[in-house]
Amino acid sequence: MTLSFAREPWTDPLWAHADRAAEAALRELPEAVVLAFDTDLCLVRAGGQALERLGDPASCAPGSPLEQVLPGDLWLTIEPLLRSALAGETRSREIWTAGQRHCVLVDVGPLCEDGAAGAVTGGLVVVLEITARRQAELLEPHLQSDFDGEYERFEHTPIGAGVLTLDGDWLLVNRALCEITGYTAEELIGSPFEEIVHPEDADNDSEQREALLAGEIPAFRVDKRLFDAAGESGSTILSLSLVRERDGTPMHYVAQLQDVSERKRLEQNLRALGDHDPLTGVRNRRLFGHDLKLQVARSRRYGEVAGLMLIELDAFARVSEHHGEQAADEALEAVARALSRRLRETDLLARVGAEQFAVLLPHIDEPGLAVLAEGLARVVTACGVDVGDELLHPSASIGFTLVDEHALSAEQALLAADRAMRDAGQAEVGAGG
């Protein structure tokens, strides 16, 4: 946030000097607050992104006494520095405010009419928030003492580790934590941990933290998804413990983050292999059976109507015998892709046999099933597999049944669809004869 004001006649010469000095200071320290003031300690110029954290931006009008702009505890400490600037001195001081909870670095110097040799017409104060940095510097020797020589191992451990304030801001981070997040130590220190946590996981440990602060548990572990510096999401396991003063007062958290993204991906792949056909990538018989049982239960309880369809490729064994297993596999893959493109996103396609597919279609009626069966038969025939001298076009027999409130079980529904499929295949053979 940057505030600038129109020139007033009584401040015009001072304004020019203040404006140049303030812009130069903000270029060097964009996170600072810069205040230019006149000989009456009234504001001439204010700027800086952190202005709202230091004082009240609404009160930063030209001519406002700095005593009204700055927080009371900061004003009492800084006033002697401002008056020394009007005497031509340049001063710097580190100041703790708000009950030793915040630390700022204050640099004050004079504004002169014609450069350094001119008369002093005002002053410039630059205020920089350095709380996180100073807390980290003060904490480091304490940690070294508490860890009895383990601090070096903390820095070089392969697991991401860091120290958090009770408000959740990073105080210290090790190299592994920087590698996991993609941020530098300078970028992390002073920033909230929650800024890199997936929103859905931000509060998934609130109960454990309360128990930790209350002394009910010594530590806890929880899964956390994080966003790295590139915006990519990763999976970690957060281990959090609490360091206390000798009297039991909580001081800070010690956090350890273990990157388990690769393990999570492997687990997902293994689950997919267990639930999906490795050749075609569609559901396998086991997962489809589970889905069908759930649909039967919903239909019996809530009256939902769904369709169940079985698709069997005709005389498919001959493809493997005459053209080889690779041609048969390519045909199955082509059919699975074509069926997936034709079906709705809510329809569930599975390979339930060597040359047999099944489809569960929620919210469909019998006429709709009949129309879809005709369309899928054309889709299967349109699939072409190059087998060298010719282009192979498979065909299929398709049978279907409704799954409604009268369905007895998933097994009965499959038997009904299978009978319909056999009848359709015999009808085609009879028609062909």
298 falls in which pLDDT band (50, 70, 90)? very high
CA distances from 34 to 23, 65, 70 (A): 9, 15, 12
pLDDT confidence tier of residue 25, bands split at 50, 70 and 90 = low
Q: Which of the residue ranges 3-17, 115-129, 217-231, 419-433 would you say has the lowest mean pLDDT?
A: 3-17
364: pLDDT strictly greater than 90: yes
Q: If 0-12 CB within 10 Å is exposed, 13-18 middle and 19+ buried, where does residue 104 land?
A: buried
pTM (predicted TM-score): 0.43
Among 27-36, 242-251, 325-334, 364-373, the least confident range:
27-36
pLDDT winner (highest mean) among 82-96, 137-151, 385-399: 82-96
Whether residue 403 has pLDDT greater than 90: yes
Residue, of 73 and 138, whose pLDDT is higher: 73
Mean pLDDT over residues 67-89, rounded? 86
Alpha-carbon distance of 295 to 273, in angstroms, equals 23
Mean pLDDT, residues 252-277: 74
What pLDDT score was predicted for residue 271?
58
Say how far apart CA 205 and CA 221 lie, in whole Å. Answer: 9
Q: How confident is the model at residue 150 (pLDDT cuts 50, 70, 90)?
A: very low
Structural domains in the chain?
Answer: 9-129 (3.30.450.20), 134-264 (3.30.450.20), 276-432 (3.30.70.270)
Greater pLDDT, 26 or 204: 204
Higher per-residue confidence, 56 vs 76: 76
Give the residues across from 267 on adjacent strands: none
For residue 366, what pLDDT is reported? Answer: 92
Q: Give residue 8's pLDDT band: very low, low, confident or very high (50, 70, 90).
A: very low
Q: Which two tokens stand for residue 347?
A: 């329809």
- At residue 34 the predicted structure's pLDDT band, cuts being 50, 70 and 90, is confident
Q: What is the dihedral of CA 130, 136, 137, 140, to 10 degrees?
A: 180
pLDDT average, residue stretch 394-413:
92
